[in-house]
């Protein structure tokens, strides 16, 4: 049956009503770590109409624009540093999920926490580890490049989406057509104001996303940060590497979804989702070091740790005083200050005055959190911006650290120096410079803005023997 113009308008109104009904009457499950596990790994978060893409449209985009997205899921994963999970349907990368709406009979492609917070160490997938390879900004830019094209229009993409749906057995009907047409227009609108930045593999400009949502200017200094490991949050009192957010830490977890475009009202109307996620995050175990440990040397290193590190990072012996979060002023820790300078008064005011601000307070703390060191062995590269490749390098004076290294796909992990493995050459001036080991790697240049590797020189007076013992002890945490 074909619909005339009036019928199409009635159908559009009906589709919108169904979306509203689905949103208003979807009940929340009770708070539980089990529900949080599902949201973290296998379920989508939020409304697909604001943070998803109709799956048929996505398949059509991959087929039509392989230079931007890759021609298949394998090329897509390689292009953007995503992990493969053979158990996932249709070859989807880790953290990508399909969601079928009942109201509009449309299948959406969405992401969840696992896309950024699942890492890999020499082939071993580690739950909760911040990804060292994902290129989240490059992915966003690729989608925006497509959306800006003259041939990315409903008249051209809807037939391609319908054909992709038929070939891939994806639900498609008049409601899917309407939803997909609206999604194309939304992407067009977003692309008109999108500011292209690139934090590189394993990092994100979270504050830049927030500024864009608040319609504030996105400009340097950028607040690039290393994607963190979630198991540390069971000991944390704030959210963010600088203690930026305090209050309801469950709601603070929703900040990522807010930055993806989820309305603040949706976040505060679905508290159980975020509370469940927070309960789950607190259960994620810190992975144990997988190699042999010289426990006699580690015992010597524990004494070094107590003298050089425990004041800020806490103690870890059985029965010891538990970790207590401390924010170290940037003037004292000496690390790159661009992240703090990017936290503008306009940003904090806009967030605190929003609906979101009733549950989470945002403030520039003027420093960085000395984090708990559980499983610090696998959390390289180090510092808040990921500018130091290994813990062995972090123990050196800043002037002796590599000024560049390569990271991304095909990057091995050094279980002795505790950090990303890298090759290097010495420049004529004596500086250590990285050498690319794989075409999938990208250069991290510490001389670029927001990438400084200075600071945290509290241990640079240790002898070589003390440093070796300390590294051995850090394997045990």
Query: Could you tell me which residues are beta bridge partners of residue 98?
Result: 109
Rounded CA separation 467/304 (Å): 8
**Average of pLDDT values for 423-428?**
93
**348-356 average pLDDT score:** 92
pLDDT at 20 over 80: no
445 contacts 404 by C-beta, under 8 angstroms: yes
Q: Is the peptide bond before 381 cis (omega within 30 degrees of 0)?
A: yes
Q: Output the pTM of the full model.
A: 0.92
Q: What is the mean predicted confidence (pLDDT) over 109-120?
A: 96
- The pLDDT value recorded for residue 13 is 36
The answer on pLDDT for 24 being more than 50 is no
Distance, CA of 331 to CA of 319 (rounded, Å): 33
DSSP label at residue 148: T
Strand partners of residue 244 = none
Q: What is the mean pLDDT of residues 80-97?
A: 89
43 or 230, greater pLDDT: 230
Determine the Cα–Cα distance for residues 213 and 51; give it in Å rounded to an integer.
13
Torsion over CA: 28, 117, 190, 109 (sign): negative
For 133, residues 6+ apart whose C-beta sits below 8 A from its C-beta are 81, 82, 83, 120, 201, 202, 407, 408, 409, 411
């Amino acid at each position: 049956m074909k619909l005339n113009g009036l019928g199409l308008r009635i159908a559009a109104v009906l589709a919108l009503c169904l979306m509203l009904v689905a949103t208003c009457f979807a009940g929340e499950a009770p708070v539980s770590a089990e529900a949080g596990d599902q949201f973290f790994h296998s379920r989508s978060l939020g409304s697909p109409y604001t943070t998803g893409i109709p799956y048929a449209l996505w398949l059509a985009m991959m087929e039509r624009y392989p230079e931007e997205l890759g021609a298949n899921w394998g090329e897509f994963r390689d292009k953007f540093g995503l992990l493969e999970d053979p158990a996932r349907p249709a070859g989807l990368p880790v953290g990508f999920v399909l969601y079928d709406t009942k109201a509009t009979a449309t299948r959406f492609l969405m992401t969840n926490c696992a896309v950024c917070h699942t890492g890999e160490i020499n082939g071993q997938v580690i739950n909760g580890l911040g990804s060292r390879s994902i290129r989240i900004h490059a992915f966003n830019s690729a989608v925006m490049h497509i959306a800006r094209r003259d041939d990315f229009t409903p008249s051209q993409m809807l037939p391609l989406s319908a054909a992709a749906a038929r070939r891939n057995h994806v639900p498609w009907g008049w409601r899917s057509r309407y939803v997909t047409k609206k999604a194309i227009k939304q992407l067009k609108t977003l692309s008109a104001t999108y500011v292209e930045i690139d934090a590189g593999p394993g990092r994100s400009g979270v504050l830049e996303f927030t500024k864009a949502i608040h319609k504030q200017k996105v400009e340097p200094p950028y607040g690039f940060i290393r994607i963190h490991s979630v198991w540390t949050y069971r000991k944390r009192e704030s959210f963010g590497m600088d203690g930026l957010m305090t209050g309801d830490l469950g709601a603070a977890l929703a900040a990522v979804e807010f930055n993806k475009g989820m309305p603040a009202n949706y976040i505060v109307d679905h508290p159980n989702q975020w509370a469940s996620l927070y309960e789950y995050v607190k259960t994620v175990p810190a992975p144990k070091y997988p190699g042999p440990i010289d426990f006699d040397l580690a015992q010597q290193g524990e004494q070094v740790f107590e003298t050089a590190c425990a004041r800020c990072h806490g103690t870890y012996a059985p029965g010891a005083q538990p970790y207590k979060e401390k924010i170290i002023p940037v003037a004292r820790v000496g690390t790159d200050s661009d992240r703090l300078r990017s936290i503008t008064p306009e940003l904090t005011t806009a967030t605190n005055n929003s609906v979101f601000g009733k549950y989470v307070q945002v403030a520039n703390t003027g420093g960085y959190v000395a984090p708990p060191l559980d499983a610090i062995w696998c959390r390289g590269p180090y510092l808040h911006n990921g500018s130091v490749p290994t813990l062995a390098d972090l123990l050196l004076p800043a002037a002796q650290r590599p000024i560049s290294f390569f990271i991304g796909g095909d990057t091995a992990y050094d279980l002795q120096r505790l950090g990303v493995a890298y090759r290097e050459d010495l420049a004529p001036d004596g500086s250590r410079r990285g050498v690319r080991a794989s075409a999938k790697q990208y250069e991290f240049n510490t001389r670029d803005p927001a990438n400084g590797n200075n600071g945290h020189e509290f241990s640079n007076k240790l002898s070589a023997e003390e440093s070796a013992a300390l590294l051995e002890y850090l394997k045990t945490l």
